[in-house]
């Protein structure tokens, strides 16, 4: 596989080869991000395949995926690097009887061997021969302090460790940042990225995704499931089912040896589609109670 995007069409094709069905808009953004060496900032409802973009990018470039899952309280010692203090302490103890000078010991305990590399440092170190893909997942969960710190790293991929010196990435990693919009991410970060909003897939796209992801599924069944999901998404649920729910559900149905949707099996597996009790209740009462709408959901 080529490690170099030459045209947008090529990106579309390669994405399809890696079984990621993307529209041309996303392919264009990926292409531009690669050519301009800019991070990609992805937003969208949960379960539309944001994280998957990072994974598929690493497959396309045949390179490593380094993932940084954000959470509140994430700080530089868990994202960047940390000294292995217990190991350092032990080493000092062992050296006590020895005749080594203190400076020498210091040099040893502050060598890279005693460094715990966290994702960001890893991404920079691994870029020696091949730029890795750095996936910063759910940035909206981290706090503002971390965002500000991330800015610094993303702008020049350079980290200074006082005891060792400055480490700079040879090649800029491909960075994919995702967010679920639980809070607004600061402009300064967005400004440095290419923005893309991933929408719920259209019927054709969702059908294609099922066919590609779950080989062995009957085309008629896939269509029926897709139609059901597309319809379910038109209702204003607390959490609309995403494409990942579609895949989970279809997989569950296939495991149950089903190849056709009927009224009972939908009720039995409702937990795969809706993740809130309120939604399940609403679905049962407002949609499933009515014979006619039930029919509409189940047509094939």
For other proteins, which is the closer residue by CB, 113 or 128?
113
192 binds other proteins (CB under 8 A): yes
16, 18, 55, 95: residue in contact with other proteins (rule CB under 8 A) = 95
143, 244, 269, 288: residue in contact with other proteins (rule CB under 8 A) = 143
1 binds other proteins (CB under 8 A): no
214 binds other proteins (CB under 8 A): no
The stretch near other proteins (CB under 8 A) out of 119-127, 180-188, 210-218, 219-227 is 180-188
8, 108, 251, 270: residue in contact with other proteins (rule CB under 8 A) = 8
Phi/psi at 100 (nearest 5 deg)?
-65, 145
Minimum distance, C-beta of residue 35 to other proteins, in the bound complex (Å): 5
Q: For residues 293 and 221, what is the distance between their CA atoms, to the nearest angstrom?
A: 19
183 binds other proteins (CB under 8 A): yes
For other proteins, which is the closer residue by CB, 92 or 252?
92
Minimum distance, C-beta of residue 123 to other proteins, in the bound complex (Å): 22
203 binds other proteins (CB under 8 A): no
29, 48, 154, 253: residue in contact with other proteins (rule CB under 8 A) = 29
145, 156, 286, 300: residue in contact with other proteins (rule CB under 8 A) = 145
92 binds other proteins (CB under 8 A): yes
For other proteins, the binding residues (CB under 8 A) are: 8, 24-25, 28-29, 31-32, 35-36, 38, 41, 43, 72-73, 75, 83, 85-86, 88-89, 92-93, 95-96, 102, 105-106, 143, 145, 181, 183-184, 187, 190-192, 194-197
């Amino acid at each position: 596989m080529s490690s170099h995007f030459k045209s947008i069409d090529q990106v579309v094709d390669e994405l399809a080869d890696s079984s990621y069905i993307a529209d041309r808009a996303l392919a264009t953004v990926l292409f531009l991000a690669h050519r301009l060496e800019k991070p990609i900032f992805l937003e969208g409802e949960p379960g539309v395949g944001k994280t998957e973009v990072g994974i598929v990018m690493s497959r396309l470039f045949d390179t490593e995926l380094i993932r940084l899952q954000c959470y509140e309280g994430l700080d530089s010692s868990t994202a960047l690097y940390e000294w292995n203090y217990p190991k350092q302490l032990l080493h000092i103890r062992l050296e006590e009887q020895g005749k080594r000078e203190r400076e020498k010991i210091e040099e040893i305990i502050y060598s890279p061997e005693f460094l715990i590399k966290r994702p960001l440092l890893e991404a920079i170190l691994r870029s020696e021969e091949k730029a890795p893909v750095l996936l910063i997942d759910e940035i909206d969960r981290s706090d503002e302090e971390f965002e500000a710190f991330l800015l610094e790293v993303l702008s020049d991929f350079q980290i200074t460790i006082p005891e060792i010196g400055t480490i700079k990435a040879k090649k800029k990693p491909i960075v994919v940042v995702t967010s679920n919009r639980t809070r607004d991410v600061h402009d300064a970060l967005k400004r440095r990225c290419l923005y893309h909003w991933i929408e719920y897939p259209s019927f054709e796209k969702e059908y294609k995704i099922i066919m590609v992801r779950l080989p062995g599924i009957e085309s008629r069944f896939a269509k029926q499931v897709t139609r059901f999901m597309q319809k379910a998404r038109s209702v204003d649920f607390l959490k609309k089912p995403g494409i990942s729910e579609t895949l989970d559900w279809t997989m569950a149905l296939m495991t149950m040896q089903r190849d056709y949707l009927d009224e009972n099996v939908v009720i039995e597996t409702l937990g795969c589609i809706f993740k809130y009790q309120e939604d399940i209740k609403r679905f049962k009462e407002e949609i499933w109670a009515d014979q006619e709408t039930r029919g509409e959901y189940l047509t094939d």
